[in-house]
Structure formats: structure tokens, C-alpha cells
Amino acid sequence: MMKVLVINCGSSSLKYQLIDMETESVLAKGLCERIGIDGSRLKHTPAGKDTVVLEEVMPDHNKAVQMVLDALTDSEYGVISNMQEIGAVGHRVVHGGEAFSGSVLITDDVIKAMEECSELAPLHNPANLIGIRACQKLMPDTPMVGVFDTAFHQTMPEEAYLYGIPYEYYTKYKVRRYGFHGTSHRYVSQRVAAVLGKPIEDLKIIVCHLGNGASVCAVDGGKSVDTSMGLTPLEGLIMGTRSGDIDPAIMQYIMHKENLDIDQMMDVLNKKSGILGISGISSDFREVESGCEAGNPDAIRANNAFVYHVVKYIGSYAAAMNGLDAIAFTAGLGENNGKVRAQICSYFGFLGLTVDPERNAVRGVETIISTEDSKVKALLIPTDEELMIARDTVEICR
């Protein structure tokens, strides 16, 4: 069994984990920040040891990958003796379009297909590709695997992925729902089946990935049948700074009133809306949570709107699947905010869901939070996208 390096590359950042797949344990993890910007640095954390911060100029991603490999093999804070110990690299790729319904070994043809998807995710895919190329340059003989955020959702039926717009926009431009957070939804739904001790084929699960970006996914028999994010990660739930669903005519109305162009309008919807926009307090739910505790009406308003939108999606997905066995909560907010979990679940008494307040008083631990006799189960499942990427990588490189 091998050691797998998992890479999640952004335009100015690079996150990594080195995972020993024999034990599925993380040997080291870290983050390169401000690549190509003044003040770049690498934060490297070997398992069970203190974080080392290395401040060095990183003009590009090649240098960042080089620093990661140096850190991993360093005599003092490294965790392997040489690069050859890395059996394969798994790369997170945001958009796989309709070309990828699963993870793949990266070849020249795959890179070409990824480039074609870049138009659909102009902020993310080019950065993912830069990371892949930088790794290929420094590790020319190491197999690389691409794991796509969209792939899990490729099982959605046509009625779920089509928008109510002229069909030719789908045939000509591939405008449709793709969905994101697929690696997380896949991991969490598999864990739900394991925790409940039932085959995933027999389960109807709704996964609520509630983080800064947030999405809900209906998983029927282990397959994604619908999800709240769409062509881009802007659709669906109210998020940290993203609006989620709105009446599209709002854009024209506000652009006219506020004298905005389309780029400024998109900026408002992506960066100034959501929890931040409604509350005016912060995009960080922790601040909204303490605002709610202090009785701040702006915080309460944002909290309740957020919860209500999650509830509406759960209700519609229970209908879409003609039943529901379990709701799972994951990501920063889903794993840490018991109040929001309980508030969401309180709407589903009519389905026979009851939360046990004691079981729900946990953070970040795999737990069934519903009562023993609850008909629909509720669970807290900490997500682990890196492990899922590493597992796919092993599977493909075997």
C-alpha cells in the first residue's frame, strides 16, 4: 500500500495532505498561502507535531510544490525520507463538466478535457490545472489522479439537471445543473450507511454540506439524484457570502437602481450576499451564532433565513426520492453548530424525526443525533474529502 499526496490547488493557495493508505492516517498536512503575492508562506504540520511556518518567496506554483516536497522530506520536520515514497498524487478538480462521472488517471487527453471545462469554472479549473502541471514537472514518474467535485452528481436524471430555459442553451453551451461538493456528499453518504449498518443501495439520504459554501444533496441508493448547486456554486442555499437562489429578475432591477454593471452585480451576489449580506455582521456563522445568543435581530434574521432554505431543500428532496431514511450534517457549520442542526430537524417532526438533545450536543464526532425510536435518522458526519481523494487515487493506480 502506498502513500498518497492529496493536492487542492487554488489560484494563490495550495493545500496538501500526505496520507499513508495502509492505515489511512495523515502523515502531514499543510498550506501554501499567497503564491505569486508578497508575503508568501508555507504552513506545514507533521502529524502530532507543531506547525512549522516557512516564509519564502513563492513566485509560482512550481516553487510551492517544490517547497511542499522539501518540507515532506526535511530531516527535521519531514515525514518521509525521499520523494519516491509518494506512490501517487490525487488532485482535487472543481469542474469535470459532463466529461467526467468518476475519478480518472490524468493523461494528456484528460488534461485537454479539463481545459475544455475551464470555461464553466474560470476561477477554479485553471488553478487546479496549474497545480497538476507543477506536480507533473517535479514528479514526472508519479501517477496523478483527478477527482472532480461535479463527478458524483453526473447520475442526476435529466429532469433534475435541466433548467427551464431554451433547450438549445444546453445542447449548444452545456448550461445545466452540475452540482459541487460531490466528493464530500459521496463520502458522507457512504459513512451514513456504515454507521446505520445498512447497504447504501437501500437508503434514501439527504446530505447537508453546510460550510462557507453550502449545498444539499439527495442520495438515493448511493447515487446523487439532485443537488442544490447548479451550473456554478452560486445557486441553492444561502451561503457565507453567496446569495443562493434568487429571482433572476432581481439582477436587472438592482443593476438599474444602483447603477451597477454585470461584473459588479455578480460581485454582490458572490461576495456581499448570503449570511453576510442579510446580517451585515459577518460571513462567519460563529459571529451570527453569538449574535443570536445576544438577541441581535440582524443575526436572528440571517440564521432563520439560512435554516429555512435548508429546510425547503430537504422537503423537496424527500419528495423527489419518495421517502427519506436519514439526514446527515457535515462541514464547518454542520459539524459544529448543534443549534442549527436541531432547528433544521425540528421542521421534520411530521416525517417522524426527533433529535436527541444530548446526542446532538457534540462537535465534529460521527454521531447519530436522532432518538432511538426516530423514524428518520439524523446524523453528524465529519467530512473528509482528502481521504476520499486518496482512496480514489489508490483504486485507480492499483
* Residues touching ligand AMP, count (CB under 6 A): 11
Query: Residues 221, 90, 106, CA angle at the centre, nearest 5°?
Result: 95
Residues 112-151 close enough to bind ligand AMP by CB under 6 A:
none
Contact status: 182 vs ligand AMP (CB under 6 A): no
182 is in an annotated binding site: no
Contact status: 337 vs ligand AMP (CB under 6 A): yes
**Minimum gap (Å) between residue 214 Cβ and ligand AMP:** 8
Selected from 35, 93, 234, 331, the binder of ligand AMP by CB under 6 A is 331
Contact status: 240 vs ligand AMP (CB under 6 A): yes
284 is in an annotated binding site: yes
**Minimum gap (Å) between residue 335 Cβ and ligand AMP:** 7
Residues 194-223: x/- map of binding to ligand AMP (CB under 6 A)?
-----------------xx-----------
72 is in an annotated binding site: no
Give the 3-state DSSP-derived string for the chain, with helices as H, strands as E and coil as C.
Answer: CCEEEEEEECCCCEEEEEEECCCCEEEEEEEEECCCCCCCEEEEEECCCCCEEEECCCCCHHHHHHHHHHHHCCCCCCCCCCHHHEEEEEEEECCCCCCCCCCEECCHHHHHHHHHHHHHCCCCHHHHHHHHHHHHHHCCCCCEEEEECCHHHHHCCHHHHCCCCCCHHHHHHCCCCCCCCHHHHHHHHHHHHHHHCCCHHHCEEEEEEECCCEEEEEEECCEEEEECCCCCCCCCCCCCCCCCCCCCHHHHHHHHHHCCCHHHHHHHHHHCCHHHHHHCCCCCHHHHHHHHHCCCHHHHHHHHHHHHHHHHHHHHHHHHCCCCCEEEEEHHHHHHCHHHHHHHHHHHHHHCCCECHHHHCCCCCCEECECCCCCCEEEECCCCHHHHHHHHHHHHHC
**For residues 78 and 338, which CB has a smaller minimum distance to ligand AMP in the complex?**
338
100 is in an annotated binding site: no
Helices 297-320, 338-345: inter-axial angle, 10-degree rounding = 50
Contact status: 374 vs ligand AMP (CB under 6 A): no
Part of the chain binding ligand AMP (CB under 6 A), chosen from 160-168, 265-273, 281-289, 298-306:
281-289
Contact status: 236 vs ligand AMP (CB under 6 A): no
334 is in an annotated binding site: yes
Contact status: 329 vs ligand AMP (CB under 6 A): no
Contact status: 238 vs ligand AMP (CB under 6 A): no
Residue 226 in contact with residue 322, Cβ under 8 Å?
A: no
**Minimum gap (Å) between residue 281 Cβ and ligand AMP:** 11
14 is in an annotated binding site: no
Contact status: 381 vs ligand AMP (CB under 6 A): no
Contact status: 274 vs ligand AMP (CB under 6 A): no
User: What is d(CA 45, CA 17) in angstroms, rounded to the nearest whole number?
Assistant: 9
Catalytic site positions: 149
**Minimum gap (Å) between residue 228 Cβ and ligand AMP:** 15
Q: Which strands make up the sheet holding 377-380, listed edge to edge?
A: 223-227, 214-220, 204-210, 326-330, 377-380, 367-368
332 is in an annotated binding site: yes
Contact status: 336 vs ligand AMP (CB under 6 A): yes
Contact status: 339 vs ligand AMP (CB under 6 A): no
385 is in an annotated binding site: yes
125 is in an annotated binding site: no
**Minimum gap (Å) between residue 130 Cβ and ligand AMP:** 23
Part of the chain binding ligand AMP (CB under 6 A), chosen from 78-86, 327-335, 344-352, 373-381:
327-335
Residue 178 in contact with residue 208, Cβ under 8 Å?
A: no
Residues 283-312 close enough to bind ligand AMP by CB under 6 A:
284-286
Contact status: 270 vs ligand AMP (CB under 6 A): no
Which residues make up each annotated binding site? 8, 15, 92, 209-213, 284-286, 332-336, 385
Binding interface with ligand AMP (CB under 6 A): 211-212, 240, 284-286, 331-333, 336-337
Which residues make up each annotated binding site for ATP? 15, 209-213, 284-286, 332-336
